[in-house]
Structure 1
C-alpha cells in the first residue's frame, strides 16, 4: 500500500517538475516588455550568434557578433559594417580593435554586456537575420519568418521549462 501511495504521489510531482522547472537555456525573444514568448533558439554558455540587419539608410549589411557567458548574459564582441554614418560607431575606445578588411570595417573586442536587448524587426528595410552554428553547421533564419516587420522584442538568454519548449516556436523549425 505504501509503495502505491509513493508511486501515486511521485509520478505527478515528477511530471510537474519536468514540465515547469526551468532546465534548458535558450536565446528567447519575448514580445515587447512582456513575458510572452514569441520564439526561442536553444543555446548554451559559450555559444555564439550573430544578428545581421540591413541599415535602413546605407542599405548595407551590419553584423553584430555575440556570445553567451557562463552566467547566461550576452556579450557583444564585434560589429562589422561597410559605411560610417547614422547609428554606426565613430570612435574606438581603449582596448577595442579597429581594422578595415575585405571592404568592411571591423570594430572588435567590444565586451558590451547585456542582461537583455531590445530588438526591432526592421519595418522600412526588413532584412534582419539570426545566424548561429548548430553542430558545426552554420544556420541562418530571417526575422520575417518569425516576427512581424516593425515589431520589437526583448531578447535574453533564459532557462526554459520543458512546457515552454513544447508550446513555443523554436527558431529553425520553419527555416528553409
Structure 2
C-alpha cells in the first residue's frame, strides 16, 4: 500500500513540474518580434509594436527647422534596423544635399529621395527625442500610423530597436496596437 502512495505523489509532482515548465516556457520564451521603444537612460520598456521580421516601416516627422515632412524608411532585420530610404522636402539645415557611397540621390514630385544601398550599415538602435511641439513623430507600419507622443509622452528620449521579447516583458510595456 505504501508503494501506491509514493507512486501517486510521484505522478502528482511530475505533473506539477510539467505544468510549471510549460508555463515558464509560455511566459519567458522570447518569441514575439517587435519594435520596442525604451527610455534612453533606464532601458525601461515604454511601448512596443508587433511587426514581422524583414518588413519595412517608416518614421515620419516634421523637421524642426524648416517645418517640412521627413520620412525615414527602415527594414527590421534580426536585431538591427536597415535604412532603406530617406524622403524629405528641403535640403536646408540638418538634411543631406547629396547621397554618399553607393546610395542614389534623386528628386520626384518636389521631394528629395535618397535610396540607400543594400550595403548601407544597419543600426542596432535608433535614438530619438519625441517632439513636444510640431514634430509629431510617427511610426507607420502596414499603412497604420502610430503617434509616438501618445505612447511614450512628448519630450521623452527613446531607443527604438527590433528584438524578440517574451510575454513577461510585453506585460511591462504598452502595445501600440491597443
When normalised by structure 1's length, the TM-score is 0.89
Gaps of 5+ in 2: 1-7
What's 1:159 paired with? 164
Does 2:31 correspond to 1:30?
no
Shift of 1:144: 1.9
Shift of 1:162: 1.0
Contact 2:35 2:51 in 1 (8 A): yes
Does 2:125 correspond to 1:120?
no
Bigger shift: 105-114 or 80-89? 105-114
Give the alignment of 1:1-176 within 5 angstroms.
1=8, 2-69=10-77, 71-110=78-117, 111-133=120-142, 138-173=143-178
Contact 2:63 2:135 in 1 (8 A): no
Contact 1:122 1:149 in 2 (8 A): yes
Shift of 1:90: 2.3
Shift of 1:164: 2.3
What's 2:4 paired with? none
Contact 2:127 2:158 in 1 (8 A): yes
Contact 2:129 2:157 in 1 (8 A): yes
Tell me the C-alpha RMSD between the 2 structures: 1.4
Tell me, in whole angstroms, the C-alpha distance in 2 between the residues paired with 1:94 and 1:115: 21
Bigger shift: 90-99 or 72-81? 90-99
Query: Once superposed, which parts of structure 1, at least 4 consecutive aligned residues long, lie more than 6 Å away?
Result: none
CA displacement, residues 81-127 of structure 1 (integer Å, 9 cap, x when unaligned): 00011110123112111111111000112424111111110124231
How many residues align? The count is 168
Which of the pair has more CA radius of gyration? 2
CA displacement, residues 123-174 of structure 1 (integer Å, 9 cap, x when unaligned): 24231111011xxxx101111211222211011112111122234201121x
CA displacement, residues 33-59 of structure 1 (integer Å, 9 cap, x when unaligned): 323100000123211110001001111
Shift of 1:78: 0.7
